[in-house]
Every structure is written in structure tokens, then in C-alpha cells.
Chains A and B, each alone.
Chain A
Amino acid sequence: MLILGIESSCDDMAAAVVKDGRYILSNVVSSQDEIHKKYGGIVPELASRRHLETVIPVVEEALNQAKVTLDDIDAIGVTQGPGLVGSILVGLSFAKAICYVKDMSFVGVNHITAHPMAVFLEAGSREQGTGNGNDNIRPPIPDPQYPIFPFIALVVSGGHTTLFKFKDFDNYEILGQTRDDAAGEAFDKVAKLLGLGYPGGAVIDRLAKSGNVSAIEFTRPYISKDTLDFSFSGIKTAVLNYLKETESHGSGVSGQGSGFKSKIENRKSKININDLAASFQEAIVDVLTDKAVSACKANNIDSLVVSGGVACNSRLREKMRIKSKDNSIKIFIPEPGLCSDNGAMIAAAAYHFLKNGIRGGLDMNAIPNME
């Protein structure tokens, strides 16, 4: 079964063609160069308007790279929420229009619960599998490459920090989530405080590599041991306090590639931005790792999936692997390109919904605050 997955919930428009919920034939994101060239490289300010301009080139590119046409596609999976309503509507309306004209099935997918499904994906070709659409991607014998249900999933991104227990592809419960800011939002906002630009996650990750994780002691925001909820708003304020406190004692900021203008007072600087980045990142990573392991233990589950944009963070990936090993938990983290927003994970989730007989109607609406 060939599924076209379309994702437009946030800043990027993405489309992918996936066979049988597993084999990626193409995976295209609008921020990629070839797409920029196709619509002239002019990026409108507003995401939803930008999506209007990129939806056709992105889908065409996904079909071309997969060497298929719309006539080969069996069904469409499309993000229904959560996200910016105008942005979601572009992808959703486009999918509905194609399905109406081509008399094709489609299904609305929750963007957050699709993130962990990226773990079932791998690069593939159209010839793989039996081709009859009846492949069951759950292996008959335990395959160390894929998690077995039930598993715990941590979805961590700029908009979400949520722990799930997945009993099946379309059966899950929320074990915990952020009570204020998402982890990725904390990265972005701290990067902004440090004058590092957007998106902050990648810059902090890079700076932290040459920093000392225990240079500054930031309190780990655990809330309490009894909850799997998160709270990341306070750590941003802790970084602000540290900056104000240190700066008021007549020092500046130093470190490699800090982005701060070199000033004379930097010579007597007390703030090392690499240490600050590493210490802040470690606090976030510790909380995410500990809560994910606690969720596994509390539910007596030994498989853990970590996905979402923040799962690209190299320290989080490293520490998740170490802590999982220490606790005899099997850890599954998709490659970075499949952790950030993409159409392939939407197609993978859609495949299993469709197999379970779930279909979308043409009256389907976007759900910006979808849980």
C-alpha cells in the first residue's frame, strides 16, 4: 500500500511517499534547497501563505523522488492537528481536494502521536514487501530493530513535551506532559537570552560540546517524584538570573562562537557561554531522561521510543542510550531527519489507521489544540 503523507502543522511543509507503513520512497521538507528553487526562493512571512506556495512543489517532488504518480497512491495521510490553524488547513484542504477528485481514501493524523511512528520507518524501494498491502510491520518474532507494543514514547519538540504509553498504533494514553513551556521552547528562549538566534536547539547543542556540564548548577525542574509532568518555564528564568547576577559584577560573556560582540570586558569575563550552554542543556536532558525511565519502570515496560525535534539533540540521544542501558530498557530513537517534523511519520501512522478501517470524511476540520 502506497501512502502519501502530508504535514503542514508548523513552519515547514512536508510530504513523503511510504510503502506499507515502513519503506520510505521519498521524504521532502520545504526548507530543502530544491524546493526553494522551484518557487523562486521567495519566502513569504506568514507560514500559512508560505505553505500555499510550497504545497504543490513539495508534493510533486515527493512523488517524483518516489518515481510514482498520484494514480499509484492508494491513500493520503494528513496532519489534522495540533498546530497553527491556518497552516494545518493548507495541507488538510489540499489532501481533501485530491481525494475528492481521485476518489481516494484519506485519514487525519495527530501530529504528536505520529512522531514515535518514525521509529518503524526505513529507507526502501517500491519492490520491497509482498506488495499486496497486507504486510504486517510487526515482526512475527521479536526484532531488536523495532519496539514491541506496549512501549513508552517521549515526544519532545518546540511545541510539546509529552510521555505516552502506546498499546497499539491507534491506542495510547498520556502519562505526563509539560505544565508550561515545552523543552524545545526552553532551548529557543535561552538561546534568545544568550543572543544566539533561532532555532536555538542546534546552536546550544554545538556550543555545549566544548562546555563543562557541571560548571553552573541549575536546579533540575522535576516538580515532584510522583508526577510524570514537566515544567521548563522556570529554568529559563534561572538562566536569566545567572546572566544578570554575573553581568552586574562587571563581566561580559565569552566562549567559542558566542555571537556576542567582543568587548574589552570580555577579557575579565566570568561567563563562559559554552559552560552555560552545557550546564543548561544537561539540566533539561537529565529531567527528560529520568522521567522517561521512570515512566518505563512505573508501567513495567522495557521499550522506550524518543522522537520529536529535540530528539535531534546529541546529548539527549547519548544520555537516553546510557540511562536506558543502565536500566535494561531497549531504546529506539529515529535518525535526526525523522525526529524533526516530516511527512513520512504521518504516512506511517496513517497506514495503520487505514488498516484498522479508519477513514476521514470531506467535512473533517483542523483541530489546532488536538491532544
Chain B
Amino acid sequence: MLMQVFHTSSPEDTMELGRKIGEGLKAGDVVALAGELGAGKTLFTQGLVKGLDVKGYVKSPSFTIVNKYEGRLAVYHLDLYRLGGVNEIYELGIEEYLYGGGVVIIEWAEKAYALLPSVYLLIKFFYTGENTRKIEIRRIGRHGSKTHP
């Protein structure tokens, strides 16, 4: 399991890192985002989606749970914040999105590790100061590690 660690020094920096990662995403990729409220998930996602050539704004899917965007690939943006246990998430049918051939971005992924596919990108966000964040990026599953974090 390879891990890269980034330190961003502004909200714009966090968004730009997201954009760079977004540019490299391929069909079928799953990006799991984990971290506390205010840690930078929304900004990073705005960057990711920009990197996938989606026009317009990325509204929080907390209410509808899933937003779909059209960029160079179909993008499914999930937010599990309001959901309870794994059963509730499973009943939503998130597998349809996970194996649907688009790019899937999951905020509050820590609520659903057990439901994620065997290979995915895990990105963890840590608050380090008013404008600074530590962002850890791991590829889960590809380098022999089958264990979820």
C-alpha cells in the first residue's frame, strides 16, 4: 500500500490538488474521502470534479445523497453524512454506482468501508491549522493490501 502525503496551505491549494487528481481519474475509479467536518472534503471534491471537466457548481449531496454530473466521464458524487449504518447505505443501492462504469466520489466514506470495492483511492483529510490541511492519499487493494483501513 503506497501512501502519498500532501500539505496544502490554502483552500485554493486543496482545490488544486483535487483538480490534479481528478485529471488522472479513469472510468470505474472510486474515490473515498474521509475526514472531519471542515477538513476540506467539499473543496477537494470541487477540484476533483473540475479535473473531470464538469461545468457548473458541485452542490452538496447531503440531502439527495447522490448527485450525478456529466464531464469527460459520468461522475457520481455521494455523501453519506446523513446516513446511519452500513445496512442503510447498502439498501440505497450504492453498488449500482460503484460498478456503473463512471467515476464515483464518496464523502464520509468511513461510514461504508465494508461496502467499497476491492480497489479504490482512499483520501484522508486532517485539520492542521486555520488554512492548512494534511491530505493522505492511498491506493487500497492494488499493492497487495486487501484490508480496509
**A351 and B58 alpha carbons, distance in the complex (Å):** 34
A181 pairs with B127, CB closer than 8 A: no
Q: Does B8 contact A (CB under 8 A)?
A: no
Q: Is the CB of B38 within 8 A of A82?
A: no
Task: Assess the B60–A182 pair: CB atoms within 8 A.
Answer: yes
Looking across the interface, which residue of chain B has its beta carbon closest to that of A181? B60
A366 to chain B, nearest CB (A): 11
Q: Are B63 and A158 in contact (CB under 8 A)?
A: yes
Q: How far is the CA of A229 from the CA of B91 in the complex (A)?
A: 34
Category for how many chain B residues contact A: 20 to 34
Answer yes or no: A317 CB below 8 A from chain B CBs: no
Does A160 belong to the interface (CB within 8 Å)?
Answer: yes
A67 at the binding interface (Cβ < 8 Å): no
- Contact at A181–B62, with CB atoms within 8 Å? yes
Whether B37 lies near A45 (C-beta < 8 A) is no
Instruction: With A45-B87, A46-B87, A233-B42 as known contacts, state yes or no: A240 contacts B37, CB within 8 Å.
Output: yes
Q: Point out the residue from B58, B62, B91 that lies within 8 Å of A159, measured CB to CB.
A: B62
Contact B91 A49 (CB under 8 A): yes
Query: Considering residues B11, B37, B58, B66, which has the most beta carbons from chain A within 10 angstroms of its beta carbon?
Result: B37
For residue A116, CB closer than 8 A to chain B, the reply is no
* Contact present for A185 and B63 (CB under 8 Å): yes
Q: Which residues of B contact A336 (CB under 8 A)?
A: none
Chain B stretch 33-74: residues in CB contact (< 8 A) with chain A: 37-38, 42-43, 46, 57-60, 62-68
Separation in Å of the B38 CB from the closest CB of chain A? Answer: 4
For residue A193, CB closer than 8 A to chain B, the reply is yes
Contact across chains for B65 and A180 when beta carbons are under 8 A apart: no
Q: Which residues of A contact B67 (CB under 8 A)?
A: 369
B149 contacts A by Cβ under 8 Å:
no
Residues of A within 8 A of B24 (CB): none
User: Which chain A positions have C-beta within 8 A of B38?
Assistant: 193, 236-237, 239-241
Candidates A49, A180, A182, A241; contact of B42 at CB < 8 Å: A180
| Interface of chain B residues 95 through 111 with chain A (CB within 8 A) | none
Cα separation A84 to B68 with both chains bound (whole Å): 13
CB contact between A181 and one of B42, B84, B91, B92 (< 8 Å): that residue:
B42
Most buried by B among A179, A237, A241, A244: A237
> Interface range on chain A: under 10, 10 to 19, 20 to 34, or 35 or more?
20 to 34
Chain B residues within an 8 Å CB radius of A48: 91
A304 to B84, CA, bound (A): 37
Assembly CA distance A317 to B12 (angstroms): 35
B87 touches A182 (CB 8 A): no
- Cα distance, A192 to B84, chains bound together (Å): 15
Residues of B121-149 whose CB lies within 8 A of A: 127, 130
Q: Which residues of B contact A255 (CB under 8 A)?
A: none
A369 touches B68 (CB 8 A): yes
Residue of B nearest to A190 (CB): B37
Q: Which residue of A lies closest to B46 (CB)?
A: A180
Beyond the given pairs A46-B87, A180-B57, A240-B37, 18 more chain A to chain B contacts, judged by CB atoms under 8 angstroms and listed by A's residue number, are A10-B63, A45-B84, A45-B85, A45-B87, A46-B91, A49-B91, A82-B63, A82-B64, A158-B62, A158-B63, A179-B58, A181-B60, A182-B62, A182-B63, A185-B62, A234-B11, A368-B66, A369-B64
Q: Which 6 A-B pairs have the closest CB atoms?
A: A159-B63, A240-B38, A179-B57, A237-B38, A181-B60, A241-B130
Chosen A-B contacts, 29 in total, with CB atoms closer than 8 Å, are A10-B63, A45-B85, A45-B87, A46-B87, A83-B63, A84-B65, A86-B91, A86-B92, A158-B62, A159-B62, A159-B63, A178-B59, A178-B60, A179-B57, A179-B58, A180-B46, A180-B58, A180-B59, A180-B60, A181-B60, A181-B62, A182-B62, A182-B63, A192-B37, A229-B57, A233-B60, A240-B38, A244-B127, A369-B68
